[in-house]
Structure 1
Amino acid sequence: MIEKKNYYFVFKRVFDILFSIFGLVITAPVILMFGIFIKLETPGPVFFIQERVGLNGKNFNVLKLRSMGIDAEKNGAQWAEKNDPRVTKIGAFIRKTRIDELPQFINVIKGDMSLVGPRPERPIFTEQFNREIPGFIDRLAVKPGLTGWAQVNGGYEISPKDKLEYDRYYIKNLSITMDIIIILKTVKVCVTGNGAR
């Protein structure tokens, strides 16, 4: 099914590049401003780089504005929770509005990600969830996205199992129209802050 959509993936890649370049230029002042706020609130780097699993299981480094303290994972990898105490005050705001994700336009331009697709998980959690939920790696059949069907329908509060079902639905129904719907829904999510964690 995916092989028959080559035209879609060509269009999607061109759109990803053009939209991300435009988006990066437009949001650069916002990234800079919150980068300053992050430095003023806590010591450490402005950006947070973390390994994620991408298309066909290939790992890449995702780029985000740092929303937690530098010792957030001193006890090992942890999945973020609602009202996570590791999140800083500025971090809570940029996570709620998804501003922390804006640097990922760079990941999209590089080709690691697409604007729309399943949100990429960390290798350790991908392995764990695939053991607990056989087929979880089915999500890796397409590029991960800056936003996705699961995010606009359930945000970060949904379980990995439900996330898989939403992502499978997206992969089964790939289309330009669906991508546009997800992007428009994402704007609404960013404005309302629904699903933040």
Structure 2
Amino acid sequence: MIQPNYKQQLNIFIFLKRIIDISFAVFCLPFAILLIGIFSILIKLESPGPLFYIQERVGQYGRYFKVYKLRSMFIDAEKDGPKWALEKDPRVTKVGRFMRRTKIDELPQFINILRGEMSLIGPRPERPIFTAEFEEKYPGFTKRLLVKPGLTGLAQVSGGYNISPKVKLNLDLYYIEKMGIKLDMQILFKTIKVVCSGYGSR
């Protein structure tokens, strides 16, 4: 049974987390719009196709939502069906490779944060097909859906694409169990280091 004091503290944290999410997104939005504008031109110059990549993901409590990204792959990237990004993936454009390394392709997700579909910090949202696949392989994977998915998270700053779904699950469950302002700040600062180094990107 959840203790009353713990439940109250959790509710306060969730409220503060939402305030921080909105404040951070609003503060960063002008800079994000500038970068999106610059890279939209570069995307168009390099390859034909839409500027944005809109994809269905699984959010909190299993609700589906559309996630927004700057297109980093060629338009026929999934002609053979959905697949995870590979290391040195040939489907990724030159501009896309830089955006993925610096996480610039994720900037449109500030819209998802403002809409309340995502948080700044939390488990990264997976596609429905992969969520079902990983739940079958690693029972309990859907426990990640107890909280809002994040723009960045503990698994991302601990290896990103370089870690297995099982390790990713363990890290996400650890975050859910220990989540708080202090842990969120630690993940945020580590995210800055990851963005600067490009560690764990594909």
- Identity in percent: 57
Of 139, 160, 163, which aligns to 1:155? 160
Of 101, 107, 115, which aligns to 1:102? 107
1:7 matched to which residue of 2? 12
Counterpart CA distance in 2 for 1:82 and 1:112 is 29
Partner SS for 1:156: helix
Matches within 5 A, 1:1-197: 3-4=7-8, 5-197=10-202
2:80 aligned partner, one-letter code: N
State the shift of 1:121 in Å: 0.3
Counterpart CA distance in 2 for 1:27 and 1:104 is 10
Counterpart CA distance in 1 for 2:180 and 2:161 is 24
Counterpart CA distance in 1 for 2:94 and 2:31 is 24
Unaligned runs of 5+ residues in structure 1 are none
RMSD: 1.0
Counterpart CA distance in 1 for 2:99 and 2:7 is 37
Between Structure 1 and Structure 2, how many residues are aligned? 197
2:118 aligned partner, one-letter code: M
Counterpart CA distance in 2 for 1:75 and 1:16 is 37
Counterpart CA distance in 2 for 1:157 and 1:51 is 23
Counterpart CA distance in 2 for 1:167 and 1:30 is 29
Structure showing greater Rg:
2
Partner SS for 1:115: strand
Residues 152-190 of structure 1 deviation map (CA, whole Å, 9 limit, x = unaligned): 011221110000000011000010011011011000100
State the shift of 1:24 in Å: 1.3
Partner SS for 1:22: helix
2:77 aligned partner, one-letter code: A
Partner SS for 1:15: helix
State the shift of 1:18 in Å: 1.0
Runs ≥4 in structure 1, deviation > 2 angstroms? Answer: 1-4
State the shift of 1:3 in Å: 4.3
Partner SS for 1:195: coil
Residues 68-104 of structure 1 deviation map (CA, whole Å, 9 limit, x = unaligned): 0111111111111111110000000000111101110
**Residues 45 and 66 of structure 1 are in contact (CA less than 8 Å); yes or no, is this contact kept in structure 2?**
yes
